[in-house]
Structure 1
Amino acid sequence: MLLSLISVTVTLWVSRAHGQETTCDPPNIANGLHAPYRTKYRLEDVITYHCDSGFYPSSRGNTAKCTDKGWVPPPRCSLKPCELPEIKDGALYKEYKYRPYFPVAVGEWYYYTCDDNYVTPTQVYWGYVTCTPSGWSPDVPCVKKCVADHLKHGHFPRKEQTYVLGESVRVFCQPGYSLQNQESVVTCTENGWSPALACLKHCDMPLLENATAIITGKAFRPNDTLDYQCLDGYETRDGNIMGSIVCGEDGWSRLPSSFKFAEKCGPPPAVDNGDITSFPLAAYAAGSRVEYQCQAYYELQGPKHATCSDAKRSEPPKCLDPCVIAEETFNENNIQLKGKEDKTYYAKTGEIIEFMCQSGHHAVTSRQSFKATCWEGTVQLPRCE
């Protein structure tokens, strides 16, 4: 019995230190046979052995390799098939206590636990490994686990559920978000979820009018740039044949646009006492418009936008003059503002100005004249003596 449990002693014929090749003697396996059979084995040679009926090979397998330390693992045929189990990513319960009693017979079992991020095949805290004729079962005691947890900008069918190595789950991202490469399924791997469990912002391919995209067929993430080229006879708003837009958190920075050369308009016309609200361009595309604003106290008359159409721009607005009443004018007419200070006064076109006589004076114009209307810089003033 003892002889059946003892591994064969290996003799190394020549030391590497003398510059000669290491060799191994044929192993003497009690209650078993090996192949191929040679009188000498060179380094890295591998043998396969088989045990007689009722005997078991090492639980580490029925092959052995010739090394500079002998046959590894030592080939043996034993009545007890299972050596000390190796719990990868876990630990055998009180391993130090059981170590002297290995190998063990078929049917014996032992408790074990798994490390963090690993679970037993049954996903319970305490698992157990059982000795079988072919070795320990389960052969993979601890498997990788992945948890379906809170997902920003998305959700799982079932939250807080644990998945094991190889299992997959479908992920639902909010509109405008997707998994990497716009996939919809993640799989639990040794390195965690694949692809990464994150709903990322993306921009879909925009509709291109009179232009073609330089690069297509990819998911655009924030800060990604889409370059496009206008078709023949078209150009961008700034007069180029190529343009670009940027994907941002709120979508594309602007829609790509290309316009015919002949449909463009030149710089917007100037307006006295007014200007456009944007930086002027050398050319404007068809359908584009600029907004005008007047200087302080000047009243805008007409639409505040001028639109480019068929290379022509709609009529710009006008900025009507205000009425300016100086302090000297008040004194000359012995009048003052009603409810306001008697300093220089500015009134917009259309504004009604109320007057009254200064103290010690009386009106010499009609009562209605004390409510005068400003019109394009002119106002009819009342008079007092």
Structure 2
Amino acid sequence: MMTRSQSAQNAIFPTFFMGGFECSTFIWQDGERKDYVASTGHDRHLESDYSAVMSLGIGVVREGIRWPQVDLGNGSYDWASVKAVQDVATKCNITPIWDLCHYGFPQECDPFSEECLGRFVAYCRAAAELVTNTAEGPYFFTPINEITFFSAAATELGWMYPFAKGREDELKRALCRMAVEGAKAIRSVHPDARMVHVDPMVHAVPPADRPDLADEARAEAYKKAYEGFDMLSGRHAPELGGSPEILDIVGVNVYHYSQVVLKEDKGREVLGPRDPRRKPLSEMLKYAWDRYHRPIIIGETSGFKETRAEWLKMTMEECLKALNAGVDLQGVCLYPVVDLPDWWTQKWAKIGIYDVADASDLERVPCAPYIEELRLWQKTLDQPEHVEPDGYGQLWGRVQLEEVRKYAAHWAGREEQVRIE
């Protein structure tokens, strides 16, 4: 595994721009299991989805292995869906980050039990054996998606299984233990496998008329939101086995609704895009870097409806600032590549690079302004002299980290000159 100093110098991922396909498999509050790979048609459009990603100059994709689907019980697995994805990814020269548990457990699997822990560890080991035996590295895994968010959504919020109200902290510990032991199991198969742990990065402020709630708002955003990462890194609850090497790569998820007014009743009101109380993304990235000193990616980000292009522009400008501030930012994952149904309304959320036609064939419809903004950044950043001989970068637009760092330094100098003038 790369040391911390090496990771600050070398690119971990083949490309700076990444993509992701929604793969939630939770049991929702209506008692029905949701399968977002099926509902978005990603399983049916697998080849065309990956061809689209390849044409966008993206060389890394967050992709799901649906634990409830592949785990048949008693150590038996059906890997057909995973092999199909790996085959297409290999064909398109795209590196997956395999998400092993995206909110969903196999039927009647109790996350608080030792039985569930053992089952997950065995599944992680088997998944690692499959991936490492069928594809060339590097290998990336996310054992448990969004531990801190998941532990709230499945307890106090009552959105999804196990609906364990009053047990948020207990579930968070259980999920962290699963992630730690899962990471160890994966590395028992391939010691150089990298872990990418993701959770939302948020900012909260008190209501204008309640400055007395400022401490509570800060604790929500800068203590509670980082508890999963803290456990994985060993900063908190070291008895769970966390360490900087287990935390490995920090994935911070950032959306338009990530900055809020936190009300006395815990209700949230999203801060508008030009609200002066919003915190610059670059400063939030620097906070995460200073806290862990581990490589960082933006694990998920997207604007909303007509703001998607503007959001990408803002995100990239803030990423340049973060790089110049010394943050080891390794990439930005545009998530989702293909739009998804809103959890509550089941209407299309309008946050993807591609929208989805509301028809039985789930036709992909490109969000032209979003793609145009991505192309502008690729044209600005892509430097042919940095094309790697290993096949990555052979397509126009496959931007690499060193190119982004180089431009960030140039951009900072230009901004400084403008200020002087």
TM-score between both structures, scaled by the size of structure 1: 0.16
Query: If each structure's helix is expressed as a fraction of its own residues, which one has the higher value?
Result: 2
Higher strand share: 1
TM-score when scaled to structure 2?
0.15
Q: Which has the higher contact order (CA 8 A, sep 6+)?
A: 2
Please say which structure displays the higher CA radius of gyration: 1
